[in-house]
Amino acid sequence: PDKELERYTLEQDSYETEFRLRAKSGDYHWILSAAKFVEWDEQGHPKVLAGSHMDITDRKKAEITNKQSQKLLDQLFYNSPIGITLVNADGLVQNTNKSFQELFGYTNDEIIGKNLNDSIVPNSMVEQGLKFSNISLTGEAFQSETTRLHKNGKEIPVFVGGVPVELDGEIIAIYGMYVDISERKFLENQIAELLETEKKARIRMQDMFEESPAAIALLEGENHTFTFANGTYKKLVGEADPLGKTVEQVLPELKEQGSVDLLGICYNSGNPMFFNVKKVSLNTGIGGATDDYYLNFIYKPLRDEKDEVYGIFIQAIDVTEQVEARNTIEESLAEKETLLNEVHHRVKNNLAIISGLLELEIMGIEDEKVNKHLISTQSRIYTIAAIHELLYQNESLSHVNFNSYIESVIKNEASLANNEGHKLISNYLLDEVVLNVNQAIPMGMLLNEILDCLRDTSLSGNNKMESTLSLVMSDTNNEVLIELKDPSHNLLSFGEEASGSHTVLRKELIGVLLTQIDGNMMLEDHEHFSSL
């Protein structure tokens, strides 16, 4: 330092510098050194130098601390995730940080010295920008949500704040801080749209419930308080305004019928309940008279976001008219079934009377040929009567088990004197076959004609009823097969019968009956005679 002092004093008449000095104790001190020539010799050369030294260590430490703090502040300013700009009292930009530049697209070279409001405030918000600036110039901070412009003209939703910088009681600058809230605004808009959509859906659902032909109501709480009831429900229960009332208040008659207890079970268990054609009595008549209704309805628990039951959804459909109509139809059907049963019974009785009259005729006529014709006619009448008897004995008045006909008429009554043809069958193998009345009568008559034909064949020549047949009936692929098998090979084929008016009539009758049942008849190898 002394050499420096000498050098400077030779060049000028004063000197001042700072330097660091280590003391005897080993500590370092900052020294402010100053010197000045105060006397010169006759030649004008410096002769006397006056100097001083001052310990400025504390001041130097404070300056260093301030510089460090300023550097930290500058780094915080520049690297802050919040967009920050420094604006002077005239609204001109003095500095911006990195986040501000990224947010609005300006570099410092482009915006420093420019009016901040002219750069980033939309035209529609100029008054707002001036208002914010004036607030800061009064020494007050502010914050608000607003919109600012990117360099490219795109609007950016931001959260803006202003902090005044004060020196000696005067506002010399303003820190403007900006936070991009685009994502939050996007989410808020989405939430708003969802809420609006949910609101519209709720309104549509409410309208749908209101216009539904089914009775719909919502109950909340353990007391089952009405919070919604559509017009159909109000009309059903006869209550114009049930909202805010409990079920017991609106429909006290349901407690005795157990419906309130069912609501409690549904609410406490959390399980839905379904009821079909349940009779419910409601006091909806004149003067509180009770009317009976038949309802299909459900109780469905309502759950909150914690999956806890808070209410019950009720939907009921009034099927009273359908039930009453069904009961009327069933009563009418029962009446018609009774009448039809009576018809079958009367037909059977009338045919039995005719058969009895023929029996009297047979007993009074000695002509064997005439008796033969009468016996054939009696057999046909008996066949029809037997079908009607089975019909009124069955649950169904339109169908008959044909195997039951064969067993009761041909097998069990083969001993009747006038049913000699039936005695030809000795073995039966019958599947269960159900035929309607339009099939059973011609099928029974057809089987009777064939057996009578075989009886005549058996009685002719030398066979003398010694041949026996096996009757097999099966139902295969919706076709009924009846087989008459002749193990003895004694019966002549149908085509070899002697001719005659009686035989011709029987053949024609067999043909007509086959046509009625869409059937076919075949004779195979003279071993069995079959009819389909």
pLDDT tens digits along 359-397: 888 888 888 788 778 887 888 888 888 888 887 777 677
Q: Give dist(CA 269, CA 246) in Å, integer.
A: 20
Global pTM value: 0.42
Q: Give the other-Cβ count within 10 Å of 126's Cβ.
A: 12
The mean-pLDDT minimum among 65-69, 190-194, 399-403, 496-500 falls in 496-500
Q: Note whether 428 and 406 are within 8 A (CB).
A: yes
Does pLDDT of 204 surpass 50? yes
| Rounded to 5°, angle at Cα 321 from 315 and 322 | 85
- Sheet with strand 469-476: strands edge to edge: 425-430, 469-476, 479-485, 528-531, 521-524
Q: Give dist(CA 443, CA 433) in Å, integer.
A: 12
Q: Note whether 301 and 267 are within 8 A (CB).
A: yes
Q: Can you name the residues that pair with 32 across neighbouring β-strands?
A: 18, 54
Phi, psi angle pair for 413, to nearest 5°: -110, 20
3-state class of 358 per DSSP?
helix
Does pLDDT of 156 surpass 90? yes
How high is the pLDDT of residue 417?
Answer: 43
User: For residue 95, which of 125, 154, 180, 83 has the smallest C-alpha distance?
Assistant: 83
pLDDT (mean) for 122-142: 88
For residues 41 and 154, the model is more confident at 154
Q: Give dist(CA 458, CA 490) in Å, integer.
A: 8
Q: Give the other-Cβ count within 10 Å of 53's Cβ.
A: 14
For the chain, how far is it from start to end, CA to CA, in angstroms? 143
Q: Which residues, including other chains, have CB under 8 Å from residue 177's CB and lie 6 or more apart?
A: 82, 83, 84, 160, 161, 162, 163
For residues 461 and 301, the model is more confident at 301
Q: Give dist(CA 142, CA 164) in Å, integer.
A: 10
How high is the pLDDT of residue 485?
Answer: 83
How high is the pLDDT of residue 502?
Answer: 61
| Rounded to 5°, angle at Cα 449 from 444 and 451 | 95
Looking at every residue in the chain, the average pLDDT score rounds to 82
Q: What would the pLDDT profile of 158-191 be if each residue is shown by its tens digit?
A: 999 998 988 888 888 999 999 999 998 888 889 9
How high is the pLDDT of residue 302?
Answer: 93
Model confidence at 87, pLDDT cuts 50, 70, 90, reads: very high
Helices (H), 55-107: 57-79, 98-104
Q: Which residues, including other chains, have CB under 8 Å from residue 44's CB and lie 6 or more apart?
A: none
Q: For the chain, give the number of residues.
A: 532
Does pLDDT of 402 surpass 80? yes
The mean-pLDDT minimum among 63-72, 91-100, 429-438 falls in 63-72
How high is the pLDDT of residue 203?
Answer: 80
Q: Which residues, including other chains, have CB under 8 Å from residue 334's CB and lie 6 or more apart?
A: none
Structure tokens at 72: 């930290």
For residues 448 and 285, the model is more confident at 448
Q: Which residues, including other chains, have CB under 8 Å from residue 223's CB and lie 6 or more apart?
A: 246, 248
Structure tokens at 168: 């000696």
